[in-house]
Amino acid sequence: MPRTLQHPARLVPLTFLLAVVLGTGLLMLPAARAGEGAAPFLTALFTAVSAVCVSGLITVDTPTYWSGLGQGVILALFQVGGVGIMSGATLLGLLVARRLRLSTRLVAQAETRCLELGDVADVLRLVLLATIAVELATAAVLALRLRFAYGEPWAEAAWNGLFLAVSAFSNAGFSTYSDNLMGFAPDPFVLGPIAAAVVLGGIGFPVLHDLRRNPRRAARWSLHTKLTLFGTGLLLLGGTAAVLAYEWNNPATLGPLGPAGKLLGAAFHSAQTRSAGFNALDVGGLRPETLAVSYVLMMIGGGSAGTAGGIKVTTFLVLGFVVWAEIRGEPDVCAFGRRISRDVQRQALAVALLAVGFVGIATLALLSVSDLALHDALFESVSAFASVGLSTGVTAALPPAGQAILVVLMFLGRVGTITVATGIALQSRQRPYRYPEERPIVG
């Protein structure tokens, strides 16, 4: 392989692209479709990209359009995409060789964004253990609930439970039910385990690694862990409160439910907008104010190095602390007793601006090739880029050009804006000179 392709910033997107190509080919097999004939190329491509990029947007109904083989391929794709192709490849190398080469560690670090190079092996072991433990536990709870509360046969309950569990921990949002999870809206024994798996997968493996090493000593947690946990809790509570406030009396969403059901529905929607994409409420029936809140939550996303998308919680909080320091006139940006480096501040700004740019261009493109309303086009664009998968119900009706736009946006959102930018530059160079400084007027 050429040396330029071995750079993690390029190798990671190329490997995701390879998985998309393989998944598209498998989904185009006649046996992967429940009906007659093979799936069209665009349908197979859209589904493969959505699965590998753990987005969850669909143009066809998963349980009725795809056969058991097709659903198995989709499950495998979002499992691989959620855990991270490079993480999986490095884990296999670790299990076989019992050691990691430096180049392999660098590739894995680009995907997992470990805080220290020496932690890569431990984090990747945790990836495997956490994935197996959470998915199997969630699958068991769901299978038992589906069997005894809903009367599903054991085989069907086991398959649905496993599919939903893997989809939840991977933050994929794919469901084996045509109405996603709307049929389970008031059931905490279905929505609860799924939401828990979503949050665990979305906070990121470095955080889980840090919590495992120091479970009761918060003072020894890294700044990354503190920012992620603080931001996750704040956004979950804030999102729940906002949904309750705007949807309490909405007859299309929370209105028919009792107080406990309203709280469960609002909390579940708040958790899913962070990148999971399951919906127990009719997204098309949400009020404009709730859609606006959802834009923000989807764009922020979850934790770095997890299965969630978006610009990430740490990026959002770093920019918030930058603004706060600027307002107070402080020379340093600080959080939880630590100074945030200028490199991190620049990276956060680059990620946020690239994300806004990608979403803005995609929204304009969707408006140009379809007759969507602005709020629908914006919702689809944010959902695709942030790997969320929620939709107001317009995805399947988009023309081929519109679906192609979402395919590109899902891929860019999964590999990461900063990874794309780094892959283009590939190498940073230091100028042997500096220009004179000048201060343009800002604001």
Q: Contact, 83 vs 19, CB < 8 A?
A: no
Q: Contact, 159 vs 139, CB < 8 A?
A: no
d(CA 26, CA 39): 10
How do the pLDDT tens digits run along the chain, 443 residues long? Answer: 555 555 555 667 788 899 999 999 999 999 999 988 999 999 999 999 999 999 999 999 999 999 999 999 999 999 988 877 556 544 444 444 444 455 555 555 555 544 455 556 666 777 788 889 999 999 999 999 999 999 999 999 999 999 999 999 999 999 999 999 999 998 999 999 999 999 998 888 778 878 888 888 888 898 989 999 999 999 999 999 999 999 999 999 999 999 999 999 999 999 999 888 899 999 999 999 999 999 999 999 988 877 888 999 999 999 999 999 999 999 999 999 999 988 789 888 988 999 999 999 999 999 999 999 999 999 999 999 999 999 999 999 999 999 999 999 999 888 766 565 555 444 556 678 888 988 888 77
Sequence-ordered list of residues with C-beta below 8 angstroms from that of 105, at least 6 positions apart, any chain: 90, 117, 120, 121
Per-residue buried b or exposed e for 302-323, using 16+ beta carbons within 10 Å of the residue's own CB: bbbbbbbbbbbbbbbbbbebbe
Sequence-ordered list of residues with C-beta below 8 angstroms from that of 341, at least 6 positions apart, any chain: none
d(CA 163, CA 293): 29
Map out the domains of the chain as residue ranges: 3-425
Tokens coding 98? 């019992």
DSSP 115: S
Q: Contact, 173 vs 272, CB < 8 A?
A: yes
d(CA 33, CA 113): 37
pTM for the full model? Answer: 0.90
